[in-house]
Amino acid sequence: MDNPSRIAIIGGTGKVGRYIAARAIEKGYHVRMLVRNPEKVLYKNDKIEIVKGQVQEIESIRELLKDCQVVINTFGQPPKEEPIYSKVTATIFNVMEDLNISRYIGVSGGSLTIKEDKKSMMNLFGAKMFEVIFPKMMKDKKLEWELLLNNKQIKWTLLRLPFVKDSLTSNQIKENLTDMPGTKITNQDIATFIIDHIDNAKYVHKTPFISH
């Protein structure tokens, strides 16, 4: 069944992004993806429009988002570069507000801890280790979280993920708002969860953990 809504995907050539595009097409959505290298797009379909550009450039974000109703951000930080999650998300939100786009779904790691969390000792230890090993990245992730927390206009959801397996095997998805309920999840199940929650208000302005 054709869905008139158009989804903008940032990070569409990544391990999770390509599954999201495929799942969106299955559900009848039209998809527009921002990619740096179009030749890296492995999943091709008539309902996918490619925008060549850089996530750091506001002109690229504006071209990507025009006429879209939903934004899905699975941007992956380039290795060995300064973390830019918060800067990228701030740019996306600015353009979304200019274009009156209200729905945003992003992803983060389970190591992100917020004050409402009730993490187990093991998960708290793991989060602390991430802060020690990747201090710049975790600081930037928290800046991104604060940006979302202070935005009431956009209907955002930030998913917190455990270890991600590049697998087609689908499992039952566990959800929890205060602690990671498992240790891993597949790309396919992340994609299914995201697409299924586009029109679901359950996690609007919330940061659920999902896992197997």
Sign of the alpha-carbon dihedral angle for 32, 17, 78, 134 = positive
Kindly state the average pLDDT of the residues 12-36.
89
Question: Looking at the domain assignment, is residue 149 inside a domain?
Answer: yes
Q: Is the Cβ–Cβ distance between 52 and 36 less than 8 Å?
A: yes
- DSSP notation for 131-144: HHHSHHHHHHHHHH
Range of the domain at 169: 6-211
What integer pLDDT is reported at residue 42 of this predicted model?
65
Determine whether 132 is exposed, middle or buried from the number of CB atoms within 10 Å of its CB (0-12, 13-18, 19+). exposed
Question: Looking at the domain assignment, is residue 80 inside a domain?
Answer: yes
Residue entry with tokens 């800046």: 143
The two three-digit tokens of residue 49, written as one number: 């429009």
- Give the confidence band of 1 by pLDDT, cuts at 50, 70, 90: low
What integer pLDDT is reported at residue 41 of this predicted model?
72
CATH classification at residue 149: 3.40.50.720
Residue entry with tokens 């917190």: 160
Domain count, the chain: 1
Question: Looking at the domain assignment, is residue 1 inside a domain?
Answer: no
- Choose among 192, 187, 173: nearest CA to 16: 187
Question: Looking at the domain assignment, is residue 56 inside a domain?
Answer: yes
Q: Is the Cβ–Cβ distance between 16 and 193 less than 8 Å?
A: no
| pLDDT tens, position by position, 47-91 | 889 999 999 899 999 999 999 999 999 988 777 788 999 999 999
| pLDDT tens, position by position, 91-147 | 999 999 999 999 999 999 999 999 999 999 999 999 999 999 999 999 999 999 999
What integer pLDDT is reported at residue 2 of this predicted model?
64
| pLDDT tens, position by position, 187-211 | 999 999 999 999 999 999 999 999 9
